[in-house]
Amino acid sequence: MVKTIARDELVKMRAADQKVKVVDVLPRESYEQEHIQGAISLPLGEIDENAAGLLNKEETIVVYCASFECQASTKAAEKLQALGYKKALDYKGGLKDYKEGNLPLEGSLHQGTGKAACAAC
C-alpha cells in the first residue's frame, strides 16, 4: 500500500532539512517548463530503467504528478516500492496543489525574478 503525503508535511520536511528526494514523474517537457524547486525529473515510463541511477533505496522519496486527478504519482510510488524503495511517498496534490500554496517553482516558466515570473502561474 502506498503512503501519501500532504503539501504541509512535505514543506515541513524540507524546512527541517530532512533528507527527502522530490521526484517529478510527469513527462520531461512538463518538468522543463515547471516543477517544484529542487525536484528531479524521472518520468513514469523511465522508472524501471533509471531509478537506480538517480535514487537511493534508503532515502525518503516523494513523487508527484499534475494534480489530485492525475494517477501517475501513485503508479510511480507503486513501481518504486516494487523495486525496493520502501520510503516512496505519493504527493497526490502534485504540482497544482503546490502552486496553490504559492510555494517556489522552477523551470522555463519561472525564469527571472522569482515572484514577478510567477505572476503568470
Angle at 75 between CA 24 and CA 14, to 5 degrees: 40
Question: Does residue 65 have an active-site annotation?
Answer: yes
- Band (110; pLDDT cuts 50, 70, 90): confident
The per-residue pLDDT for range 3-30, each reduced to its tens digit, is 999 999 999 999 998 889 999 999 999 9
Tell me the domain boundaries of the chain. Answer: 3-109
Please state, in angstroms and as integers, the Cα–Cα distance from residue 84 to each residue in 1, 3, 108, 117, following that order: 13, 14, 33, 39
* Superfamily of 3-109 according to CATH: Rhodanese-like domain (3.40.250.10)
Q: Is the pLDDT score of 114 beyond 70?
A: no
- What's the first-to-final CA gap in the chain, in angstroms? 33
What mean pLDDT do residues 54-75 have?
97
Catalytic residue among 65, 70, 118, 121: 65
Q: Is the pLDDT score of 55 beyond 80?
A: yes
Rounded CA gap, 7 and 114, in Å?
20
Note the pLDDT of residue 116.
Answer: 35
Note the pLDDT of residue 17.
Answer: 86
Residue with cell 508527484: 64
**Beta pairing partners, 106:** 35
